Structure 1
Amino acid sequence: MYKLNSKNKANGLDLLRSLKDKTIKTAFFDPQYRGVLDKLKYGNEGKGRGKARCDLPQMDEDTIKAFIKEIDRVLKPSGYLFLWVDKFHLCNGIGVLGWLNDTEFNLVDMIVWDKCKIGMGYRSRRKSEYLVVLQKSPVKAKACWSDHAIPDVWQEKVEKVHPHSKPIELQKRLIAATTVEGDIVLDPASGGVFSI
C-alpha cells in the first residue's frame, strides 16, 4: 500500500500502524502543535503570512503521544528519533518529556537550527528551532552515529515551500550519520500533520 522512496499521501498514524515492529533505523517527527500560537494570541492567526500554517490540521497532545509511541514501536533498538520542537514547548516543559512516557526513548542530544531570519516573539524574537535527539534503548554512540563533526548549532536558510519547511542539508547529514545503505528512514508528518 505504501511505497518506499516515494511521497505517500496518507494519515501518518495509519502509516505507522501498518509497519512491523523494529523495522525503522531513523525517524523524523515535526508535531503540528498550536501551543505557541494559543499562548501568544497575536489576534492575526490565519491572516497574511501565517495563513498556511493555521490552515493545517493541528495535533492535540494525545495525537502527538500516539505518533511518538508508534515511532518507538517501529524503531530498531538504538535507532534515532529527531523530534522538532519550538522554544515555547522546550522552555515551558509542555509536552516534550511527557510525550516520551511509556517509551524506550532517551534524550541524548539537541541541535539548534539557526534559520537565519527573525520570527515572532514578545520579548526575544525567534530565530531558531530545536531538534531534540532521542535514541531508543540501548543507548550507544560510536556504533550508531558515524559523523562526529555535526555542530550543535546549525545555520541554514531554507526556501519556504511548506509552512514547516526544515533544513535539508542538516537532515541529509543526520540520515548519513545514523543509517547505512538499505536502512529505512521514516517521516510520518513530512507533508503536514497527517501526510507523509
Structure 2
Amino acid sequence: MRIAFLVATEGVEQVELTEPWEAALGAGHEPVLVSTRPGEIQAFDHLDKADTFPVQEVVGDTSADSFGGLVLPGGVANPDLLRTDEKAVAFVRDFFGQGRPVAAICHAPWTLIEADVVRGRELTSWPSLRTDLRNAGATWVDEQVKICDHESAKLVTSRKPDDLEAFCEAYLKVFAAEAA
C-alpha cells in the first residue's frame, strides 16, 4: 500500500516522521513524503533542527486517490503550517471523503480540525489541543492510542513521541484491515 506522509516544509518532529515511516517500510508498505513545496523538508528534534528529507510528491500535484492511507506526523510548527495551506487541508479532507484511513500524532490533529473532519469523533492528541478539539466537535480522551471507527473513515490518533510504538502498531493494523 502507498501511504502518504504529509508534512510542511519545516517543523515536523523528526521521530514522529521516521518511526512511523520505518514501521510502514517494515510492514511492506511504500511510504511517500508529500509536502507543500518541492525540495526538502526540515525536521526538528523538539526545537532544534535535525535532518532534512527529500520531498517525493507535492500536495497540489497529487491526490488521495494515489494512496491507501495518510499519516500526519506532529511537531508544533508542522500542523500549524499545514492548516494554513488550502491544498494540504483539501488533501486531508479527501482521505476522509474517500473513506481512506488516517493516522495523526501529537499536534497533527490541528490539521484535522482545519479540514473539519473531527466532529463526532473520539480522538487523542498532545494535551494542549484538548480544548481546540472539543470546540471543533470532537470528544478528546487521554489515551496512548485511540482508534475511531467513524462512518466516513477510520482515524488512529496518539498523544506524543512516547506513544510511537503503540501508534505504529495500531495504524498499521487499521491500514492493513482497510486494504484487505
More helix by share: 2
* TM-score between both structures, scaled by the size of structure 2: 0.40
Quick check: which has more Rg, 1 or 2?
A: 1
Greater relative contact order structure (CA < 8 Å, 6+ sep): 1
More strand by share: 2
* TM-score between both structures, scaled by the size of structure 1: 0.37
